[in-house]
Each structure stands twice: as structure tokens, then as C-alpha cells.
Structure 1
Amino acid sequence: MTQVMEKNLEYYLNLNYTLLVNHIVDESGSYYYGKIVELDGCHSTADTVEELIKDLEEVKKAHIEIKLEFGDLIPEPKEMPSGNIMLRMPKTLHWKLANEAEREGISLNQYILYKLSSK
């Protein structure tokens, strides 16, 4: 018999949510802006990264507490993709891309990555 884990405040606080931090310099000065990607509305600003992370932990806790109180859905972090994909393509396209990669002197994988990221 498997035991079902209770998804309480402690459960959510221990999940590895994605933290996005940007250094901002604008007319108001220099500061850090951060957000928890999976939790809409969980964002803050601070003068230092350390202060920002502390603030975001408090915001995350309050956000989750409110969601739990009202029985709202709380998104969980997704696993990072492996970076590997299987891709099927027409032979003529494969031939064209392989030739272009050879002309550039790079591997087919590098060339396809370049083409995808330059759009």
C-alpha cells in the first residue's frame, strides 16, 4: 500500500521552484527584480540579490498560504528537459541542412541549433 503525501505548506515550500533574477538599471536607479516563474504574482524588488531572495521566500510562503486557504490550484515546478529530442524530417531537408552545416564547418546539431535560435 502506497502512502499519499499531504500537499501542505511545507510540501510546497520544499519544492524547487524556478527563480528568475534580473539586474535593472533605469531612471529610478539600480536594483534587482525577481520572480518565481511558476507562481503568478510572486515577484519582488530589492537592492541586493540576497535581500531579493529573502523577500521572494516570504512572498512565496504568503502566496501558497492564501492558495491553500482558498483551495486554489498551486502549480508545481516542472522538471528541466534533457535537451535531447528525436526529430524526423524529410530526407531532402536533412540533406540540405547537412550540406549547409558542412559548408559552415560545424556539426549538423550545431547548425540546427543555430537555425532554431536565430528566429
Structure 2
Amino acid sequence: MDPHDYNITVRQVHEEDGPCFEARVRELPDVAEYADTFQEAYELAIDTIATTAEALAEQGKRMPAPAMVNDEYSGRITVRVPRNLHRELAEAAEKENVSLNQLIAGALGVYVGVRGVLTPAAAFLPQYTAFSDESIAVAGNAQRRPGTPQLRVVRDNNMQMEADWGNTG
């Protein structure tokens, strides 16, 4: 059993003591680990998966199997964006010395907290702070329409990227 085969989601949350990172395991819904950094939260989740597997084995119980990736998702999507956004994204990618695909995949990965997506874009991600739709008000003056998810990535407080995926409600 390899704990890395499990589906771990890490996202930034805002607790009473301030922002931190929360790691959750899809196959173990009661697991929630909190840490000061993304990496620490991820590693705590890996450790918890291994510890849970050992405890269940000692009790003669089976560990839930990792959820299989759905084959209907090829990893390829087509997105239409305004020309000026395309230009800004391309310029940001060039400035960060990553491909446009890496920049967009990394930004989307930050938004949904998918660990595997973050690795290819590691060259630029440490310079970014991401805010989920729950914390946009904390990030600044962006106003979110009810039922509309938004992505806001701020770099060094002088460049920002925002995307609006339309009304989901």
C-alpha cells in the first residue's frame, strides 16, 4: 500500500489563528490535517494514511482502496479567453520562464488544490499566493457574485490574475 496513491487535496484556509493549509483525503473523509505550509500539510496527510492503514490492519480491517482516476478525463481542455487575457497570461508565463500551459495548469491546480498539478509549475508557484472563492474578500477588493466561483492569484502584490467561470447556481 502506497499512501501516495490516495487522492489528497490541500488548500489554504483561514482559521481563527490566521491562514493555514488543510489536507484532506478523499478515500478517508474523516481525515483533516492542518499545517503552516502546503508541503507540511501534504506530508501529514501521507503519514496519516500510512498510520490509518497500520491501525486498520492491526484490527483486522481493510483499508479503503485508492479511488481510481476516471478515464473520461484526458487531461486536455479547450478554453476560450479574451485576447487581452491571452496576452497577459503569455507575458506572465514568459516572465516566469514557464510555458503558458504550465502557468495555467498551475493556477488552476492552486484553485482546486490538486497536488499532482502543482509539480510541473513549481518554477513559478512559490512566488504566488492563491485565494479560494471563500477568501477573496480577505485578499482585497474583488467582489464575487453569488454562485460564481472566481480565481484570484496575486504575485508580489503588484500583478494579479482573475478568472470568472460564470454562474454555477
* Greater share of residues in helix: 1
Aligned to 1:83: 72
CA contact (8 A) 1:31 1:47 kept: yes
Give the aligned partner of residue 47 of structure 1. Answer: 36
Q: Deviations over 1:74-118 (max 9, x none)?
A: 11112221237xxxxxxxxxxxxxxxxxxxxxxxxxxxxxxxx94
- Count residues with an aligned counterpart: 76
Between Structure 1 and Structure 2, whose CA radius of gyration is higher? 1
Q: Secondary structure of the equivalent of 1:35?
A: strand
Q: Alpha-carbon deviation of 1:14?
A: 5.3
Higher strand share: 2
Residue 54 of structure 1 deviates from its aligned partner by: 1.6
Alpha-carbon distance between aligned partners in 1 of 2:63 and 2:46, rounded to the nearest angstrom: 16
- Runs ≥4 residues deviating over 6 A: none
Work out the CA distance in 1 between the residues paired with 2:57 and 2:64: 12
Unaligned 5+ runs, structure 2 = 74-166
Alignment of 1:36 onto 2:25: yes
**Structure with higher RCO (Cα < 8 A, 6+ apart):** 1
TM-score (norm 2): 0.40
**Structure 1: gaps (5+ residues):** 1-11, 85-116
Identity %: 20
- Cα–Cα, structure 1 residues 54 and 15, in superposed 2: closer, same or farther, change >3 Å? closer
Q: Secondary structure at the match of 1:68?
A: helix
1:63 to 52, 60, 63: 52
TM-score (normalizing by structure 1): 0.55
